[in-house]
A and B are shown apart, each in its own frame.
Chain A
Amino acid sequence: MDVKSKEAYKKMVGRKYFFLLSISVAIFFTFILDIMTGPASLSVREVISTIFFPAYSERSVQVIVWTFRLPVALMAVVTGITLGLAGANMQTILDNPLASPYTLGISAAAGFGAALAIVFGVGVLPFADTLFVPINAFVFSLISCMAIYGIARFKRATSETIVLTGIAVLFLFDSLLALLEYTANPEQVQAIVFWLFGSLTKTTWTTLGITVGIVLMVIPLLAIDVWKLTALRLGDDKAKSLGVNVEKMRLKGLILISILTSTAVAFVGTIGFIGLVAPHIARMLVGEDHRYFLPFSALSGAFILSTASVLSKAVVPGIVFPIGILTSLIGIPFFVWLLLSKKRGYW
């Protein structure tokens, strides 16, 4: 190996690390900003001292920082990571630039599950009132994944089969959701719509803990496969010749994706767009090597959602503005700019 190519490789890797570092710093700043913004005008010093020495601040400031702001700010980052990872993994195993948790109908299934809970179920389970909607959403998104998985097992798990099945599932749950909305009363429809918009404001330390736990569980399982996933991007035949069991990879990926998506969707509602666009941003900036691509995709998701969280509080202070409306509004310009600035196709 000559020195030149080593140099070039080093430079390339260096650039990737630089990007990873920059976005981490950016997330850190949006996160801080997220804790700073809110209808209660607290000074930076107040917030910091409340975070580190809660006992010394007023009860109401404690509540504002610890109950209202911190969980939401952290949830924005974690959910962003979840969706970014799910989307990246999905596009890879399905070999399809349009794949996202939406495309496979996982979000639609979750939405239907939540709506079902809102219209009929809540109250049937007196003990799990707070968790009933998310649990239902989770169960239904898993069901949709299993349906896709089952059909994929039954046929050979080619990416086309999976994508088409996913689209079928998407339309099925969309129409079921419409049917529910049609039969529900106006208050329930409003609750469903609001849930579909997505909202971080209901986050508690419990739901945050569950989400973090699941993400931490899934990350190593994905990390093991970075090389196989990278090989998969060369196409099925090449990956097979490199010894990758493509079908097994696909099914495993599908299960991990469904766990990630279901978790994210269950607690914050269907926040769209991130799962689709974060991987593209990552691909444009750090390329296809999954050692960099997966983390960067996760971090882009976190960055978009954290920014959206800050903005959602800035629209009208004191009113809860649905965050799902903002994610695409802020992500699109950036995405389009990246698309236009790329000299060649990157997919």
Chain B
Amino acid sequence: MVEVNMRNKLTTFPILAITLVVFLIFSVSGCITNGSTDDQAKTINVTDMAGRSVTLKYPVESLVLMDSTCTAEFSSVYGEGFDSKIVGWDNNLRDNSGDMYEKYVEKFPAMAEIPDVGSLDDNTFNAEKVIALNPDVVIMHDWEFMWDGEATKEALTRLDQAGIPVVFLDFYMDPMTNSTKSMQLLGKITDKEQRAQDIVDYYDDKVNSIYSRLEKIQGKKPTVYIECAYKGPETYGISYGDVAWGDIVKKAGGDNIAEPILLNKSKALSAEYLVNQSPDIIILTGRNWSTPGSLRMGYTSTPNVTKSTMTPFINRPGWDTINAVENQKVYGIYHGYCTDIFNFVALEAFAKWFYPEEFRDVDPAETLKEYHRKFMPIDYSGTLVYSYY
């Protein structure tokens, strides 16, 4: 721990010095040009996804991403040159989405050097470091309030004291409504509104086509169980009430068995409840978690790896009596999707799994490829949407 503090000090001084020098140069050059234009930096006022009114420098040139997995959204909105704009982030991308991290670093090696500012989830958040990096804005997510309310409030106070604005996005609490708004907000503050709008149009186009078809479908909704398969097969991972994945299941026309008992929380269900409910469809979410036995999915996973890590889940006691297993309707989806812009692909995949006949022509993997081609700096690869049978 001492070492870390030393490192901070060592980086803080040069950065402070550099900022000071830069500031001097600017003020001097400002004097030389006789205050002709830009001595007053432009500002913009926005209302963020947490309903806070924030004033920031316009356009923002440097960001700290409190959730580094947000790189996917930021890079697609910003396009060319996004990598040099991220001046700090947490380790979420590296530790939990290692596959995506690799893809980015492969293409933009400098990203490996982006400093880690700690995370609010485990109290490692280092406000001092953020202040030293002096970003134009710090990007946070609404779920921070739910998971780490205290730490978040404290971080806000400290950043506020340092005059560093914080903008909240939301891809989790109300994913199907707030994702596009969050993209527009990102576009607005970085002066990339057109690109953001292109993404939003694409997104809306996709989801609306799903919604309009769902409206026409009559009859009983399939019952669905969705679990974050990060604990391995022995322990039931969390399932979702009416948030995140649960919300997407509902919007895709599924009847989420966790909702009546979880309401709007995320908790693990008991095995007995699941077997007794015997849902029509089971969806397990996978990623590159470090936990052994967890479901492996992502940019660097092959279908074989996903299959072999999913088999033990299907062999859990009692699962052979569940409708979903008997009727061979067990699926996997990349876990990053409930917290990012790709949730429209999840919606597509779910709708297709729930109503295979009506959505025969929909191909989520194809949609993903297209999105990557159009908006993402990295290429599509790996296993992001998976059907076990």
Q: Which residues of A contact B (CB under 8 A)?
A: 38-40, 58-60, 63-64, 67-69, 122-123, 126, 129-130, 184-189, 191, 201-202, 313, 316-320
What are 13 residue pairs bridging A and B, where the CB atoms are less than 8 Å apart in the complex?
Answer: A38-B270, A39-B270, A59-B321, A60-B278, A68-B270, A68-B272, A130-B234, A191-B235, A201-B270, A201-B271, A202-B235, A316-B261, A320-B269
Please give the distance in Å from A168's CB to the nearest CB on chain B: 24
A72's nearest neighbour on chain B, judged by CB, is B272
Q: Is the CB of A59 within 8 A of B234?
A: no
Report the tally of A-B residue pairs with Cβ distances under 8 A. 87
A68-B271 in contact given A39-B276, A59-B321, A319-B261 (Cβ < 8 Å):
yes
B122's nearest neighbour on chain A, judged by CB, is A186
Q: Is the CB of B318 within 8 A of A63?
A: yes
Partner of A59, one of B95, B121, B230, B320: B320
Q: Is the CB of B230 within 8 A of A187?
A: yes
Given A68-B272, A129-B232, A189-B122, list of 8 further CB < 8 A pairs?
A38-B273, A187-B230, A191-B291, A201-B271, A317-B273, A318-B270, A319-B261, A320-B268
A318-B269 in contact given A67-B317, A185-B122 (Cβ < 8 Å):
yes
Determine if B293 is an interface residue (Cβ-Cβ < 8 Å).
yes
Please give the distance in Å from A190's CB to the nearest CB on chain B: 9
Please give the distance in Å from B279's CB to the nearest CB on chain A: 12
Interface of chain B, helix or strand or loop or mixed? loop
Chain A hits for B268, CB < 8 A: 319-320
Please give the distance in Å from B150's CB to the nearest CB on chain A: 14
Determine if B251 is an interface residue (Cβ-Cβ < 8 Å).
no
Determine if B289 is an interface residue (Cβ-Cβ < 8 Å).
yes
Per the bound structure, the CA–CA distance linking A39 and B373 in Å amounts to 47
Per the bound structure, the CA–CA distance linking A185 and B289 in Å amounts to 11
Chain A hits for B322, CB < 8 A: 60
Chain A hits for B278, CB < 8 A: 60
Per the bound structure, the CA–CA distance linking A129 and B210 in Å amounts to 42
Per the bound structure, the CA–CA distance linking A38 and B122 in Å amounts to 34
Per the bound structure, the CA–CA distance linking A229 and B160 in Å amounts to 66
A-contact bits for B222-247, CB 8 A (1 contact / 0 none): 00000000111011100000000000
Per the bound structure, the CA–CA distance linking A320 and B318 in Å amounts to 17
Partner of A187, one of B271, B275, B291: B291
Chain B hits for A186, CB < 8 A: 119, 121-122
Chain A hits for B318, CB < 8 A: 60, 63-64, 67-68
Please give the distance in Å from A266's CB to the nearest CB on chain B: 14
Q: Is the CB of B275 within 8 A of A68?
A: yes
Determine if B163 is an interface residue (Cβ-Cβ < 8 Å).
no
Per the bound structure, the CA–CA distance linking A186 and B292 in Å amounts to 16
Determine if B314 is an interface residue (Cβ-Cβ < 8 Å).
no
Chain B, range 344-359, C-beta contacts under 8 Å to A? none
Partner of B270, one of A63, A130, A188, A319: A319
A62's nearest neighbour on chain B, judged by CB, is B321
Chain B hits for A184, CB < 8 A: 122
A69-B122 in contact given A60-B321, A130-B234, A185-B95 (Cβ < 8 Å):
no
Chain B hits for A126, CB < 8 A: 292
Determine if B267 is an interface residue (Cβ-Cβ < 8 Å).
yes
A40's nearest neighbour on chain B, judged by CB, is B276
Give the 10 A-B residue pairs with the shortest CB-CB distance, closest first: A123-B292, A40-B276, A63-B318, A318-B273, A39-B273, A60-B321, A186-B121, A318-B261, A68-B272, A67-B317
Per the bound structure, the CA–CA distance linking A186 and B90 in Å amounts to 13
Q: Is the CB of B275 within 8 A of A63?
A: yes
Q: Is the CB of B275 within 8 A of A64?
A: yes
Per the bound structure, the CA–CA distance linking A292 and B270 in Å amounts to 38
Per the bound structure, the CA–CA distance linking A318 and B262 in Å amounts to 9
Chain B hits for A185, CB < 8 A: 95, 122, 290
Per the bound structure, the CA–CA distance linking A64 and B319 in Å amounts to 11
Per the bound structure, the CA–CA distance linking A39 and B269 in Å amounts to 10
Per the bound structure, the CA–CA distance linking A129 and B293 in Å amounts to 9
